[in-house]
A = this chain, B = another copy of it.
Amino acid sequence: MMENPALCMPFGVDIDLIKGAMGDPDRVIVRKASNMIGMYADEAALSRLIEHGDPVHYEVFEKAIPDVEGHLIICISKLYPGKVGEEYYMTKGHYHMVAGTAEIYLGVAGQGFMLMKTSDGKCVAEPIRHGRMVYVPPYWAHRSINTDDVPLVSFCVYPGGAGHNYGDIEKEGFPKRIFNKHGVPVTQ
């Protein structure tokens, strides 16, 4: 049966449920400030950040699982704390290529929001933190936002073959942003 490349053997992986670290990831995706051009309200602030060291915004730690229907892709998303102008660090956000597929984010460390939107204008921000899971239903684009002083770490699961569609969010953006106003997260 294992001759089929869509199949794999069972395995275990350590997930630190306090810090959120994944033991022995097979792949790490790194997104820096320079990968976020066009995403923040204050473009000049982002440019200054890129010029001053281009800090890492977030990392995604993955296990090698066949990316085809029937499998479940797991990852750890680690979004660093920081602000671009008054806007909290966030992920690019994406729909799935197969738009009708869900994703779950189990908050492990830090706190913030999962900002979600549909292409027809609905928008919801759900709090996420250690011990709070957010369900992103099929057809909802989603972006993590870190409102804390420590990394926001989530354990994520989505269907194999779902894929990522970043292009539509680059064009559409989200209807809401979350800013730090005098030390408090404010949604605008």
Chain A interface residues (CB < 8 Å from chain B): 1, 6-17, 63, 65, 70-72, 74, 98, 100-104, 106, 108, 114, 116, 118, 120, 122, 124, 126-128, 130-140, 155, 157-160
**A70 with B100: in contact, given A139-B1, A159-B159 (CB under 8 Å)?**
yes
Copies of this protein chain in the complex: 2
CB-CB under 8 A from A9, the residues of chain B are 124, 137
In the complex, A15→B106 CA distance in Å?
8
Task: Check A135–B10 contact: CB distance below 8 A.
Answer: yes
Determine how close the nearest CB of chain B comes to the CB of A94; give it in whole angstroms: 15
Given contacts A65-B135, A131-B16, contact A124 B159 (CB under 8 A): no
B10 and A120 within 8 A (CB):
no
A86-B106 Cα distance, complex, nearest whole Å: 36
Would A6 and B106 count as touching, CB distance under 8 A? no
By a CB distance below 8 angstroms, the chain B residues around A63 are 135
